[in-house]
């Protein structure tokens, strides 16, 4: 291949960590006693000429980040794409290795695989072990990705996973040993689950062949259907309960705070937020009723 | 004691429902009709659409009718319309027949309140100015879902 553009590293730490209840970047998840942000920055520094930390406007720097250069979101589209676009506009001639701060199991060998897989596609990333879709938050964004991202944002598309899928990203297969490496941690329960996955002492107790995602049939009514643009959809989720699933979906769709008073049904019966999910369940989201 | 509740496409035919409630031991029969109003929160309503989560709505409606029938020792039934309705159209009907009028009045009142509160049905209003809005929750103007659409 022709000479590749030089690589910048971008650590995304601008998420609100609302489900975790504390800043994910400042958590200490690895045995070395360093915060998640510190470990991820060191990982990026191993491959990139310059490394930047992506934060929201006004957000405090997570613990353990030292004197890293900071890029604050100048794009208002929200979500991880705001941080990615900010960085790409800052240096449009560079390729960006983007990494989210909530992926504690990404290591140097996985980053090497990603770098080796680079070709002339605008995006290079891994295919999700759960649904085969691109994993946008441990991926390389080449300079040719910038106009594509701008175009999608102008049309209101802000989900980098869907943009990568639509633009034919070059996708690599996750090695078997790192099958769970791109599962992020969004809720304390995930953290507990990841800890079990990473502990060789208990890993064997996991049923073999089990994927952490469950396929769920979703249904929406009233203004929720309008907000989501559909009444039914199939969705694969790592969520363990109906409430977690709803939090995941409102975060995905950017509808947090617009959805108070929503009730849940599982398999055509009312269900509380802590109702456990199993594969094949039908989950329906209901706004407050207005019959009569 | 019978328990009958259904979600039915507009227009509703309530004749068989009310006839099924008549019984020689019932001296009192009370029914309530909820009809489409031509105004809401100061705006002129020109049309209205009801949608329901039918599987759950019918299950919950049957439970309500059974509970209230048992509690007041009445024969009761109810039906809620879905589809496109206009001012004056019948949206919901509840009826209760009992030996004496007190129980029939009380049961009828509780039935309509419980149906509005517990049955998954949603109202979408269209106004004279061409705008429309989902109504989320009863009588809570300005609730999260009441967002105008041009």
Residues A24-29, mean pLDDT to the nearest whole number: 69
Co-location of A164 and A19 in the same domain: yes
Number of independent structural domains in chain A = 2
Max Cα separation, chain A?
A: 68
Cross-chain Cβ contact B144/A260 below 8 Å: yes
CB contacts under 8 A, B 1-40 vs A, are 34
| Spatial distance between the Cα atoms of A168 and A161, rounded to a whole number of angstroms | 11
* Residue A197 clears pLDDT 50, i.e. is over it: no
Residue B107: φ, ψ to 5°: -65, -40
From chain B, the residues in CB contact with A286 under 8 A are: 53, 120
pLDDT > 70 in chain B, percent: 89
Domain membership flag for residue A198: no
Same domain, A145 and A70: yes
A221, A261, A292 member nearest B115 (Cβ) = A292
B53-109 tens-digit pLDDT: 999 999 999 999 999 999 999 999 999 999 999 999 999 999 999 999 999 999 999
- Tell whether A65 and A170 lie within a shared domain: yes
Average pLDDT score over chain B: 89
Residues A163 and A225 in one domain: no
Closest by Cβ to B121, choosing from A261, A269, A289: A289
Question: Does the residue A281 lie in any domain?
Answer: yes
Chain B nearest CA to A290, separation (Å): 5
Domain shared by A121 and A252, yes or no? no
Count CB-CB contacts under 10 A for residue B64.
23
Query: In chain B, what residues touch A265 (CB-CB under 8 Å)?
Result: 53, 56, 120
User: Per-residue pLDDT tens for B123-137?
Assistant: 999 999 888 889 876
Q: Does residue A204 or residue A125 have the better pLDDT?
A: A125
Compute chain A's Rg from CA coordinates: 19
* Residue A84, pLDDT score: 95
Residues in chain A with CB shorter than 8 Å from the CB of B60 are: 270
Does A207 fall in a domain?
no
Mean pLDDT of A135-163: 91
Give the per-residue pLDDT at A183: 73
Whether residue A167 has pLDDT greater than 70? yes
* Among the partner residues A226, A261, A291, nearest to B116 by beta-carbon distance: A291
Is residue A280 a contact partner of residue A215, using CB atoms and an 8 Å limit? yes
Task: Give the pLDDT confidence score for residue A255 in this predicted structure.
Answer: 74
Shortest distance between the Cα of B24 and any Cα of chain A, in A, equals: 30
Question: What is the C-alpha separation between A147 and A18, in angstroms, rounded?
Answer: 31
pLDDT 10s digits, A91-122: 999 999 999 988 888 888 899 899 989 988 99
Q: Hey, how many other C-beta atoms are within 10 angstroms of the C-beta on A108?
A: 11
Q: Give yes or no: residues A137 and A263 share one domain.
A: no
Torsion sign over Cα A80, A85, A86, A87: positive
Nearest to A87 by CA among A119, A128, A133, A44: A44
Q: In the prediction, which pLDDT does A125 show?
A: 95
- pLDDT tens profile A43-89: 998 888 899 999 988 888 888 888 899 999 888 887 889 999 999 99
- Give the model's pLDDT for residue A108: 87
Question: How does DSSP classify residue A241?
Answer: B
The pair phi, psi for residue A111, each rounded to 5°, is -65, -40
DSSP H helices, chain A, are 36-45, 79-90, 108-116, 145-154, 160-166, 188-198, 200-203, 222-228, 242-253
Peptide bond into B11 cis (omega under 30): yes
Q: Is B63 left (phi over 0), alpha (psi -120 to 50) or beta?
A: alpha
Helical residues (DSSP H) of A62-134, grouped into ranges? 79-90, 108-116
**Residue A60: helix, strand or coil by DSSP?**
coil
d(CA A59, CA A51): 18
Which pLDDT does position A175 carry in this prediction? 85
The structure's pTM equals: 0.53
- Both A110 and A221 in a single domain? no
Residue B150 located in a structural domain: no
Residue B143 included in any domain: no
Do A54 and A126 share a domain, yes or no? yes
User: Can you tell me whether residue A24 is helix, strand or coil?
Assistant: helix
Burial of A60 (0-12, 13-18, 19+ CB in 10 A): exposed
Whole-number average pLDDT of chain A: 83
Chain B residues closer than 8 Å to A291 by CB: 50, 52, 80, 91-92, 115-116, 119-123
A31: confidence class by pLDDT, cuts 50, 70, 90: low
Kindly list the residues from chain B whose CB atom is less than 8 angstroms away from the CB atom of residue A284: 53, 56
Question: Which chain A residues have a beta carbon less than 8 Å from that of B136?
Answer: 222-223, 261, 287-288, 290
Q: In the predicted model, is pLDDT for residue B42 greater than 50? A: yes
Identify the sign of the CA torsion A174, A175, A180, A185.
negative
- Write out the residue range of the structural domain in which residue B29 sits: 3-138
Collect all residues of chain B within an 8 Å Cβ-Cβ radius of residue A219: 53
- What residues of chain B, 84 to 143, have a C-beta less than 8 Å from chain A? 91-92, 112, 115-124, 134-138, 140, 143
Q: Is the same domain home to A15 and A61?
A: yes
Asked if A85 and A152 sit in the same domain, the reply is yes
**Cα angle vertex A201, ends A101, A23, to 5°?**
20
B146, part of any domain:
no
A171 touches chain B (CB under 8 A): no
> pLDDT-based confidence at A28, cuts 50/70/90?
low
CA A46 to chain centre: 22
Matching residue, tokens 């596609």: A121
The answer on pLDDT for A209 being more than 80 is no
Q: How far is CA B135 from CA A7, A253, B147, in A?
A: 52, 21, 8
Q: For position B147, what pLDDT does the model report? A: 42
Helix (H) or strand (E) holding A257: none
Q: What is the mean pLDDT of residues A235-263?
A: 84
Q: Is B136's CB within 8 Å of A287's CB?
A: yes
pLDDT for the residue B127: 92
Query: What was the pLDDT predicted at A3?
Result: 61
Considering its fold, how many domains does chain B have in total? 1
- CATH number of the domain encompassing residue A277: 3.10.20.30
User: In this predicted structure, what is the pLDDT of residue A192?
Assistant: 52
Distance (Å, rounded) from C-alpha B138 to C-alpha A237? 33
- B79 DSSP β-pair partners: B6, B93
Among A226, A258, A261, beta carbon nearest to B134: A226
What sign has the CA pseudo-torsion B51, B54, B56, B60?
A: positive
CA proximity to B38, closest of B85, B83, B81: B85
Burial label, A282 (beta-carbon count in 10 A; 0-12, 13-18, 19+): middle
Cβ contact B147–A270 (<8 Å): no
- B53·A261 Cβ contact <8 A: no
- Asked, for residue A270, whether it belongs to a domain, the answer is yes
Band (A257; pLDDT cuts 50, 70, 90): low
pLDDT of residue B112: 97
CB A141 within 8 A of CB A69: no
Residue A125 belongs to a domain: yes
pLDDT of residue B138: 52
Contact assignment for A268 to B137 by CB distance below 8 Å:
no
For residue B143, pLDDT beyond 50:
no
* CATH at residue A61: 3.90.550.10
Contact A221 B51 (CB under 8 A): yes
Over residues A25-39, mean pLDDT: 74
Q: Are A47 and A111 in a shared domain?
A: yes
In a domain, B148, yes or no: no
User: Same domain, yes or no, for A149 and A22?
Assistant: yes
At B142, is the pLDDT very low, low, confident or very high (cuts 50, 70, 90)?
A: very low
Residue scoring higher pLDDT (B138 or A138): A138
**CA of A273, closest CA in chain B: separation in Å?**
17
Q: Which residues of B touch A221 (CB under 8 A)?
A: 51, 53, 120, 122
User: ipTM score here?
Assistant: 0.91
Is the pLDDT at A4 greater than 80? The verdict is no
A288 and B137 in contact by Cβ < 8 A? yes
pLDDT at res. A208: 39
CATH of the domain at B16: 3.90.1170.40
Give the range of the structural domain holding residue A225, as residue numbers without chain letter: 214-286
Q: What are the phi and psi torsion angles at A134 (to 5°)?
A: -65, 145
Kindly list the distances between the CA atom of residue A8 and the CA atoms of A31, A63, A124, B61, B122, in Å, as whole numbers in the listed order.
27, 22, 14, 60, 51
Determine which helix (DSSP H) or strand (DSSP E) holds B98, and give its type and residue range: strand B90-98
d(CA A122, CA A145): 5
Q: Does A196 reside within a domain? A: no
């Amino acid at each position: 291949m022709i000479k590749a553009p030089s690589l910048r590293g971008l650590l995304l730490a601008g998420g609100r960590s609302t489900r975790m209840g504390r800043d994910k970047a400042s958590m200490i998840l690895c045995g070395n006693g360093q915060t998640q942000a510190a470990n991820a920055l060191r990982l990026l520094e191993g491959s990139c000429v310059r490394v930047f930390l992506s934060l929201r406007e006004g957000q405090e720097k997570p613990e353990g980040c030292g004197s890293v250069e900071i890029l604050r979101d100048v794009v208002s589209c929200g979500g991880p794409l705001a941080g990615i676009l900010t960085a790409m506009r800052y240096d449009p001639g560079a390729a960006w290795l983007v990494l989210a701060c909530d992926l504690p199991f990404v290591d140097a060998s996985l980053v090497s695989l990603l770098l080796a897989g680079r070709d002339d596609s605008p995006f290079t990333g891994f295919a999700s072990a759960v649904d085969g879709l691109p994993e946008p938050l441990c991926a390389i964004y080449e300079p040719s990705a910038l106009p594509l991202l701008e175009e999608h944002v102008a049309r209101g598309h802000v989900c980098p996973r869907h943009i990568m899928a639509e633009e034919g990203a070059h996708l690599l297969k996750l090695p078997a040993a790192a099958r769970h490496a791109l599962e992020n941690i969004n809720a304390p329960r995930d953290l507990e689950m990841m800890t079990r996955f990473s502990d060789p002492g208990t890993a064997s107790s996991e049923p073999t062949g089990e994927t952490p995602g469950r396929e769920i049939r979703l249904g929406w009514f009233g203004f929720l259907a309008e907000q989501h643009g559909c009444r039914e959809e199939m969705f694969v989720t790592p969520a363990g309960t109906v409430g977690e699933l709803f939090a995941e979906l409102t975060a995905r769709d950017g509808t947090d705070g617009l959805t108070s008073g929503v009730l849940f049904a599982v398999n055509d019966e009312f269900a509380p937020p802590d109702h456990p999910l199993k594969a094949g369940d039908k989950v329906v989201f209901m706004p407050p009723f207005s019959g009569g | 004691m019978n328990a009958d509740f259904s979600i039915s496409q507009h227009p509703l035919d309530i004749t068989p429902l009310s006839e099924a409630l008549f019984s020689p031991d019932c001296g009192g029969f009370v029914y309530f009709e909820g009809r489409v109003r031509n105004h809401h929160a100061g705006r002129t309503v020109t049309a209205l659409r009801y949608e329901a989560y039918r599987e759950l709505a019918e299950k919950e409606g049957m439970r309500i009718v059974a509970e209230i029938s048992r509690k007041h020792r009445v024969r009761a039934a109810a039906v809620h319309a879905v589809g496109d309705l206009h001012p004056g159209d019948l949206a919901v009907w509840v009826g209760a027949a009992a030996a004496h009028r007190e129980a029939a009045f009380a049961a009828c009142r509780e039935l309509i309140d419980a149906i509005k509160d517990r049955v998954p049905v949603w109202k979408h209003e269209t106004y004279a100015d061409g705008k429309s809005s989902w109504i989320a929750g009863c009588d809570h103007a300005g609730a999260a879902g009441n967002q105008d659409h041009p």
